[in-house]
Amino acid sequence: MINFIDPHSDEFKKIQSISFKHSCLICEQPLKDNGVYFSILKQEEDPSDESDNDMILYRLGCKYCKTVYTVDFKILSIDFEKFPNFVTRNIPHA
Ligand SMILES: [Zn+2]
């Protein structure tokens, strides 16, 4: 298994600084304690392109509630069953 995280890249520094500065928006746990990093290798779509420009995209996850954030600290997905005061209710159809 290859570890794609490059701790010296700007993108990784961005996500790291988010984890130090913010708490999880859902469960309010500090992300410096509960954060986990994901890396996604985004491959070039044009196979004829010989340049080795694979992008590594980073995501920040909260181990506590499984919310995933982008490098801009936007919520990408939440585990809604762990959402506080979560109530199931069907959306009425007009
Ligand atoms: Zn959380």
Ligand 1 centroid to residue 86 C-alpha, Å: 14
DSSP state of 55: E
User: What is the whole-number distance in angstroms between the Cα of residue 68 and the centre of ligand 1?
Assistant: 9
CA of 71 to the centre of ligand 1 (A): 16
Reported pTM: 0.74
CB count within 10 Å of CB 55 equals: 11
Tokens of 16: 């790291």
Give CB contacts under 8 A, 24+ apart, made by 84-91: 84/26, 84/27
For residue 1, what pLDDT is reported?
A: 41
Q: Could you report the per-residue pLDDT of 46-86, keeping only the tens digit for each?
A: 666 565 667 788 999 999 999 999 999 999 998 877 766 66
Which stretch of DSSP H or E encloses residue 16? Answer: helix 10-21
Q: Where are the domains of the chain?
A: 10-44+53-82
> Ion ligand 1 — residues with CB under 5 Å?
24, 26-27, 62, 64-65, 67
